[in-house]
Amino acid sequence: MKIKYLYIVFIPLCFSCTDSKEISSISPENWSKRTINLPATDTLEYGKSYLSIYSQIYSFTEHKTHNLTSMVSMRNTSDLDTIYLLRAEYYDTHGVSVRKYFNTPIFLAPMETTEIIIDEIDTSGGTGSNFIFEWKIPKNCPEPLFEGVMTSTVGQQGLSFTTQAKRIQ
């Protein structure tokens, strides 16, 4: 009787642990809803921005790391114009591309924001991960704003900090 009870409890637990967990918000549906075809000849201004992100930070020593959840916020700061994001590419500590989030240009309507979430269990970026964004905006339009918010909670301890992108081209 005790063995039957163990099987009833133990077997479902084994199968419930086999679910695969998504480690980053790579929702193609989110990007496909925003896809736009930009003409090869347009009057839009081109820009490129760099954003540092941390999927891990050092804790106690250089040999111990602490995993973080990272939210990348991509914001259109214009209240009048639509802007266009051409690329959002995630790199690891060594400068190796981890993933691209969309392959065709997407748009952000005036004052709109979209996010990329990198889950705490996704340590592929390491302690020095970063993003490169390429974008186009109409003349006299404010530049897009790219920010990172990193968080972690363990027990009653919470940790959070932010980073802001820098225009590099």
pLDDT at 1 (0 to 100): 55
Is 157 inside a domain boundary?
A: yes
Is 15 inside a domain boundary?
A: no
- Identify the bridge partners of residue 162 per DSSP, sorted by sequence position: 149
What is the rounded (10 degree) CA torsion for 100, 149, 117, 147?
-40
| Cα distance between residue 55 and residue 119, in whole Å | 8
For the chain, helix (H) and strand (E) counts, in that order, are 2, 12
Q: How many CB atoms lie within 10 A of CB 113?
A: 14
Mean pLDDT computed over every residue of the chain: 85
Is 96 inside a domain boundary?
A: yes
Give yes or no for residue 100 having a pLDDT over 80: yes
Question: How many alpha carbons lie under 13 Å from residue 160 in its C-beta half-sphere?
Answer: 6
pLDDT at 4 (0 to 100): 55
pLDDT in tens, 34-86: 888 888 778 899 999 999 999 988 888 888 888 899 999 999 999 999 999 99
- Looking at the structure of the chain, the number of domains it has is 1
pLDDT at 23 (0 to 100): 57
From first CA to last CA, the distance across the chain in angstroms is 71
Is 20 inside a domain boundary?
A: no
What number is the average pLDDT over the span 137-157?
A: 92
pLDDT in tens, 26-44: 566 677 888 888 887 788 9
Question: How many alpha carbons lie under 13 Å from residue 99 in its C-beta half-sphere?
Answer: 15
Is 89 inside a domain boundary?
A: yes
| Cα distance between residue 130 and residue 117, in whole Å | 13
Give yes or no for residue 15 having a pLDDT over 90: no
Containing structural domain, residue 122 = 49-167
What number is the average pLDDT over the span 76-103?
A: 95
Is 137 inside a domain boundary?
A: yes
Is 67 inside a domain boundary?
A: yes
Q: Residue 133: which pLDDT band, with cuts at 50, 70 and 90?
A: very high
Q: What is the CATH classification number for the domain harbouring 82?
A: 2.60.290
Q: Which two tokens stand for residue 140?
A: 């006299």
Q: Which two tokens stand for residue 121?
A: 């269990």
In percent, the amount of the chain with pLDDT more than 70 equals 83
What number is the average pLDDT over the span 148-166?
A: 90
Is 38 inside a domain boundary?
A: no
Provide the CA 137 distance to its chain's centre, in angstroms: 21
Give yes or no for residue 148 having a pLDDT over 60: yes
